[in-house]
A and B are shown apart, each in its own frame.
Chain A
Amino acid sequence: MPQQEYKLVGKSIPRVDSKAKVTGEAVFTADLELPRMLVAKILRSPYPHARILNIDVSKAKKLRGVHAVVTGKDTAGEKWGVFRYTRDQQLLCVDKVRYVGDEVAAVAAVDEDTALEALELITVEYEELPAVFDAWSAIAPGAALVHEDKPRNINVEVKIDVGDVDEAFARCHLVREDTFVAEEESYFMTEPYAVVANSHSDGSVEVWMPNASPHTKAKALSNALRIPLSQVNVRKITIGGAFGGRSDVFPAEFITCLLSLKTRRPVKLVYSREENTIATRKGHAMITTHKTGVDKEGRVLARESVAYLDGGAYSSTGPIATSVPFLCHEQAYNVPNVRFTGYRIYTNKPIGGMIRVHGRSFACGIDTQLDMIGKELGIDPVTMHLRNARKAGETTPTGSYVASCGMTECIEKTAAESNFLDKFNNPQPLRGIGMGVNSVQTGFPLGIRGGSQAFVKFHEDGGATVVSGVVDNGQGNDHMLVLIAAEELGLAPDDIRLISADTEVTPTDAGSYSMISTFGGGNAVKRAAEDAKAQIFEVASHMLEADPQDLVAANRKVFVRGAPDVGVSIAKIVRQALLMGRPIMGRGSFAPEVDQRREWITNPRGQLSQAFSFGATVTEVEVDPETGMVKALDVTCAQDCGFALNPMVVEGQFEGSVAFGGHGGMLSEEHRWHGGHCLNPTMLEYKIPVMKDMPRIKPIIVETIDPAGPYGAKEAGMSVAMSAAQAYCNAVGNALGIYFNHFPLTPERILDAIEKRKEGQGIRTAWEFQPARVIKTDDGT
């Protein structure tokens, strides 16, 4: 259908879920109240690394009001891992604790005070062990091992080698190597983690929690609790943000279910802000060394990157986390010869997961280094980016065909809108402008593979109910699904009811992580609606005495194309279909066309994702050279989202991405540590941006109409989040004539770099860091 004929998609209309959210009606997990509900609390390790010698829960059990106490003994040592080969996290620690916050025991009691008192009555004997807190000390020979079976604390090793890197370096006009370091960042979604579990006498258990994939959670719980999958029912609930931090499975839901099964009562666990920070996931600290070679025109001919990710105590999504920074880069830039070696290293710190600006040392390193090379060659950043930008029809080094790509347009539009070259070529003191570009996937396999399925059923009044496994973390997936169904069925959004993210009712969906929901779930709902529409047309064709192919559904009616006045209402068609014994029941399924043989470590080749989004951001800043404080003035961001299903929502995603990825992510957000203790687990000392500090943001939507996306849509916002980080980094650097290589750019780092700045020493990074190298292990590999 030509775009102009769309009734709903492509237009800015209010989200269907927002009314419940502005009235306080929307129910989040912590808001749930069930009869006889108990309160759960978790006892956590106060030590970064210790052997558990004994746990005595007898006193806690005797406390009045305590209904259950569980420890590792109740779990049969069950371990969780996203992949079969990364099962390393005990759901309750049995032998060792590996970070401050590791789950040791849990209680369910009549109220919070009693539960807290019970925790105090549990005595745990620990034998403290030497611990490691950063990648360098963790890989040192002889370092304490977080997991005894993992020498040098290497959790994951990803090796990619495409083309002939060494030969290409030899041909290069210019080669430079620089090392970039980034500290840990956190999600700080506004809703702290919470779980409610309710077990029933039929053996089933219902679970509510903020999550990015109800079906993944149900599978993990089914395995760990040894309950059939069909009896673990993860329910729909409003979710207060995810940003990558709700994708994984946590001990919390397992523990809450276990307590509910033991007590035969509903149990609620609500995390404190501190627990949400240390005991869910955090972004990885990362050291990346990039060696890049270019020709005279600044075209990158070869790149070799080695990265160390500080993964914390357990694997989580380790193989993915280690690969994705490289993969985003190979999508964004056309680099024919590349070698990447990525290590995820265990340390005695909270667990690293995927986050919105995942791999900021990698991404910001790439663009900082490109700026440096441009400077050496006398080529401006816009030209450098354009010369190396990915284009549609190309294939990435690891073998993903790029069907649609608006990277060039994003670069050109942000450069033009921000007047980039003029400002870059006529610098004002302490003002800086910088550009970043990046690309993200629309979906990739997270341990499980699979597409999304959906159903559409009709009500006798002509309204429809859509059933989909897609979960809404806050980004607007519910709205997206309703919008697509309404568009296809010729209904208004108000005519559509949505049942989603309830594993008992909804068909499977891979989950709302890795930017897949619109592409996967949206396509499935579109197909289900198309199927329902075909059935409607079939019935209507008899009523209207017309060929189904000539029919159109719009304004709650079906009519022959070109004759909207003589239509028949969908309600009537639905009732007619019932009379005919052919109720309208639409089914749809969509699985992205990806290479099923591709595997993160053993076979990182083949189609990774069916579509990719591309984005460019330009940031303008002013720096106070005495304090190192940065004021962001203007941000111009563009992303090729394929097609903007709802421009207002897409813009909102861009703006949020600038705040999270660029502003907070590059200027202030980092965790500080004292040994294994996080010094800033709370919202006071972890500095997420506030309204007053945010710059003006100019969002630019670029559309390339992806051949496989629903209406051409891909994903909205993530390429902005990533590129914004790079743009902020380069803008601050541009203001001061410094190439930063330690992130985020906190005032003290900026000041330190200013003080260390030496004129006439050539083009160099602010700090000299030990480069990350391929690790030689004892067995010679």
Chain B
Amino acid sequence: MRLPQFEYFAPVSLEDALKLKDQMRTSAWILAGGTDLVVNLKHRLLAPAALISIRNIRNLTGIDLTPDTLVIRAGTALAQVASHPAVKEHFPILVKAINSIGAMAIQHFRGTIGGNLCLTPRCLFYNQSLFWRKGKGSCHRTGAKDCLALKGSESCQSICSGDTVPVLLALSASVRLVGLGGSRVVPLTEFFSGLGESPYHILPEEILTEIRIPLPWAPISWSYQRLGMRSAVDFPLVNAAAVAVLDKGKVEHLRLVISAVGPAPVILREAEKEIKGAQPEPRMADRAAEIALRAAGGVVVENAIQSRDYRVKMAGVMARRAVKEALRL
């Protein structure tokens, strides 16, 4: 498959990259590992005038440990993240999530953490060739005002498919977005728009430079659950992450997230609220499942390789298993 035409820039500093982004806005895309972007370009899903490669920008890769935060630069290859001692020590949940992305030996050396977090949301009616889409008509993302998966929908229902998404969210991570005018740190809880056509709250002139994960104040107990049709080269049908702090027999802290259900990950706040402060007990997992099922029921549409009904049910199962494991039930 041929790529469409575009200009290619490989600036040597973040500032140069930001200048380009400032001029070109949404017509320029950041090229990191390319494992998502290049496929989408080949399918003519995007038509950027230019790609801005980050490969010469040194300070977009690497991992720093500050006293209270692990800072992963967005362009760091997934393999590097997963093998970093500080990540392994503090966040084995992230290692687990990374190991389930694509094919371990391949995507990981090119694919980046920033790229996985900001995957272009996926849909069986969208991630198809130009030829395929011609026979089906356009959707919110290809120039029309409708959704092929959910007729009449006011926005795109594509699926947020990154394996790291629920995990980073459960770890209360935030991202640093940098523009020419300065930088801002946005918690992931405020990063996802819920609109498939413009899934992230990032300005056209901004570049995502860091993922910041606060170091836990106490030992965390965690679980990452994901379901796929095969154990590699497969986006999750649904995934879930739970991060808890258990203290003196009580659930001191809990963050429970399901994802790959709709355009944005879903934090199961109701379940968190019920569980927090109480002693871990088996019914909590079932409650989490009920809440997840209900939440998924509101967002999952018929646009993945297994049916909507199945994915909704699996959201419940993944949430139950995540809670069970994180609360050591």
Contacts and interface: CB of A to CB of B under 8 A. Distances in A.
B237 to A, nearest CB: 8
A770 to B, nearest CB: 21
Contacts of B233: 684, 690
Query: Which one of A628, A680, A689 has the greatest number of beta carbons of chain B within 10 Å?
Result: A628
Interface of A: 44-47, 100, 112-113, 116, 272, 274, 626-629, 668, 672, 674, 676-677, 679-681, 684-685, 687, 689-690, 692-693, 746-748, 751
A681 B306 contact: no
B125 A747 contact: no
Nearest to B317: A626
A274 B230 contact: no
A693 B231 contact: yes
Contacts, number: 71
What are the nearest 3 A-B pairs in CB distance?
A46-B135, A748-B310, A687-B229
B229 A627 contact: no
A275 to B, nearest CB: 9
Nearest to B310: A748
Interface string B169-201: 000000000000000000000000000000000
B227 A680 contact: no
Contact of A679 (B1, B2, B305, B309): B305
B27 interface: no
Interface of B: 1-2, 124-125, 127-129, 131-132, 134-136, 227, 229-235, 305-307, 309-310, 313-314, 317
A685 B124 contact: yes
Contacts of A693: 230-231
Contact of B2 (A45, A113, A672, A747): A113
A46 B230 contact: no
B305 A680 contact: yes
A409 B231 CA distance: 36
Contacts of A684: 127, 233-235
Contact of A627 (B124, B235, B317): B317
Nearest to B313: A751
Nearest to A686: B305
Contacts of B135: 45-47, 100, 676-677
Given A116-B2, A680-B124, A685 B230 contact: no
Residue from B124, B232, B305, B313 with most neighbouring chain A CB atoms (10 Å): B305
Nearest to A687: B229
Given A112-B2, A748-B310, A627 B227 contact: yes
A46 B131 contact: yes
Given A100-B135, A629-B227, A692-B230, 8 more contacts: A45-B135, A46-B135, A668-B229, A674-B136, A680-B124, A681-B128, A687-B229, A746-B306
Contacts of A677: 132, 135-136
B305 A690 contact: no
A684 B136 CA distance: 20
Contacts of A668: 229-230
B131 A692 contact: no
A105 to B, nearest CB: 13
B124 A748 contact: no
Contacts of A687: 229-230, 234, 305
A46 B129 contact: no
Contacts of A274: 129, 131-132
A537 B299 CA distance: 80
A747 B306 CA distance: 8
A748 B131 contact: no
A673 B1 CA distance: 23
Contacts of A681: 128, 132
27 contacts: A44-B131, A46-B131, A112-B2, A116-B2, A272-B129, A274-B129, A626-B317, A627-B227, A627-B314, A627-B317, A628-B310, A672-B124, A672-B305, A679-B124, A680-B124, A681-B132, A684-B233, A684-B235, A685-B305, A687-B229, A689-B230, A693-B230, A693-B231, A746-B229, A748-B309, A748-B310, A751-B313
Nearest to B134: A46
Nearest to A628: B310
A137 to B, nearest CB: 20
A677 B149 CA distance: 13
Contacts of A100: 135
A685 B135 CA distance: 19
Contact of A272 (B1, B125, B232, B314): B1
Contacts of B2: 112-113, 116
Given A679-B305, A747-B310, A690 B230 contact: yes
Contacts of B229: 668, 687, 746-747
A500 B229 CA distance: 41
B125 to A, nearest CB: 7
Contacts of B1: 272
A98 to B, nearest CB: 14
A690 B227 contact: no
A116 B131 CA distance: 11
Contacts of B232: 690, 692
Interface-central residue, B124, B127, B235, by most chain A CB under 10 Å: B124
Nearest to A44: B131
A116 B127 CA distance: 20
A47 B137 CA distance: 11
Contacts of B310: 628, 747-748, 751
A629 B309 CA distance: 16
Contacts of A112: 2
A474 B139 CA distance: 42
A693 B310 CA distance: 21
A674 B129 CA distance: 15
A402 to B, nearest CB: 39
Contacts of A627: 227, 314, 317
Interface centre among A628, A668, A748 (most CB of B within 10 A): A748
Contacts of B136: 674, 677
Contacts of A746: 229, 306
Nearest to A116: B2
Contacts of B230: 668, 687, 689-690, 692-693
